[in-house]
Amino acid sequence: MATFYLIRHGQNDLLGEKLAGRMPGVHLNQAGREQAERLAQVLGDKPIKAVYASPLERTMETAQPIAAIHQLEVQNSPALIEIDFGDWSGQTFDTLLKQALWQQVQEHPSSVRFPNGESFEEAQARAVEEITRLSEVYQQEDVIICVSHCDVIRLIIAHFLGMPLDTFQRLRVSPASLSVLHLFDGKAIVEMVNHKV
């Protein structure tokens, strides 16, 4: 059992414009790099045991300063990768808003599978399985960093809060924000969601 600091990656130039998804080559911009450095400083005195991150550039770049200040390596965690949005990846939000599936995503995400991609249910299952696995590797007093993506973090938190999948989007997870999840003795406590440092 352990404590997890769930961190969303910092800002990049596609935020709010395009659905980056799993597109390669999406890096933190200057503001995002500053956010990553600020996170590292704020977390510098925490007893961090390990740093995991989604393999995408923007998450690895957010994790790196945190790992460096604790003299740790960033460990690649494919299970924490962004949802596979399939054909939606790289499209502008203006384009996506016009598609019939958009409304279904907003109202009944549990029923959505992205064209040539995965479902929210599948993404939640893989991410929760990874957090559960890691909780069994580390001790209760250990603090583990997991840098991931907005929807993935919301899905993890929703699961451990017992929220129905169709309500997970009520949670807000901003760029470079910190959410804290404690797992111990078969129980889960969500201490903090969307804390901005």
Q: Which 8-state DSSP code applies to residue 192?
A: E
Contact status, residue 65 vs residue 176, Cβ threshold 8 Å: no
Q: What would the mean pLDDT of 35-55 be, rounded to a whole number?
A: 97
How crowded is residue 172: how many other Cβ atoms within 10 Å of its Cβ?
Answer: 10
Q: What pLDDT, on a 0 to 100 scale, did the predictor assign at position 157?
A: 98
pLDDT at 155 over 80: yes
Question: Is-above-0.95 flag for pTM?
Answer: yes
pLDDT at 1 over 80: no
185 falls in which pLDDT band (50, 70, 90)? confident
Q: Sheet of 48-53: strands edge to edge?
A: 74-76, 48-53, 143-148, 2-8, 177-184, 187-196
Tell me the angle at which helices 150-161 and 120-137 cross, rounded to the nearest 10 degrees: 70
C-alpha 149/C-alpha 98 separation (Å) is: 24
Domains, in order of start, for the chain: 2-196 (3.40.50.1240)
Using CA atoms, how far residue 109 sits from 10, 11, 115, 118, 187, in Å, is: 25, 25, 14, 12, 26
C-alpha 20/C-alpha 12 separation (Å) is: 10
C-alpha 3/C-alpha 139 separation (Å) is: 9
pLDDT at 169 over 90: yes
